[in-house]
Amino acid sequence: MESSYKVALEAEPAPADMHTLVNGLTEFNAMQTGGQMPDYLLVSVRDSAGQLAGGLLGATYLGWLQIQIVWMPDSLRGQGYGQELMEAAEKEGLRRGCNKVFLETFSFQALPFYEKCGYKVFSRLADFPPGGARYALTKDLQPAA
């Protein structure tokens, strides 16, 4: 039987096509999880004019806080903003009923910072990127005493 579908590599995918795939997977996941969907959060660092200078993007989903992006420009690093971002996200995760948090980082990013924040490596993927590694970390969230 001949199929009317074909597989094609698209090196420069259209944003609408990427969006269709993400939505399809999200809808499938929702059917498997009783309708649960990721609930996103943004913890921002803004300048005096209100412009975004850095921050953290994450989501709470299925009882976990997942930190997806943490970015701070070089000019603001080492001043405590990163620690504040992590603490705010973790506090919100707890408020939303999460007791664990998950994140990934590359060897050229912030592994020592996350370890200092109490995160533990549970997976190391060597040579991603070549000569480096990709790490997956978790942390148990504890309510403030």
C-alpha triplet 76, 127, 116: angle, nearest 5°: 35
Domain that holds residue 83: 39-140
Assigned domain for 135 exists: yes
- The per-residue pLDDT of the chain, averaged, comes to 95
The answer to whether residues 56 and 43 touch, using CB atoms and an 8 Å cutoff, is yes
83 is written with which tokens? 């620690």
pTM of the model: 0.88
Q: In the predicted model, what is the mean pLDDT of residues 35-43? A: 95
The answer to whether residues 53 and 71 touch, using CB atoms and an 8 Å cutoff, is no
Assigned domain for 67 exists: yes
Residues 63-88 pLDDT 10s: 999 999 999 999 999 999 999 999 99
Tell me the residue ranges of DSSP E strands in 4-99.
39-46, 52-61, 64-71
Assigned domain for 23 exists: no
CATH number for 97: 3.40.630.30
CA distance 135 to 123: 6
Total domain count, the chain? 1
Residues 11-23 pLDDT 10s: 999 999 999 999 9
Assigned domain for 9 exists: no
- Supply the pLDDT for residue 98: 97
Assigned domain for 60 exists: yes
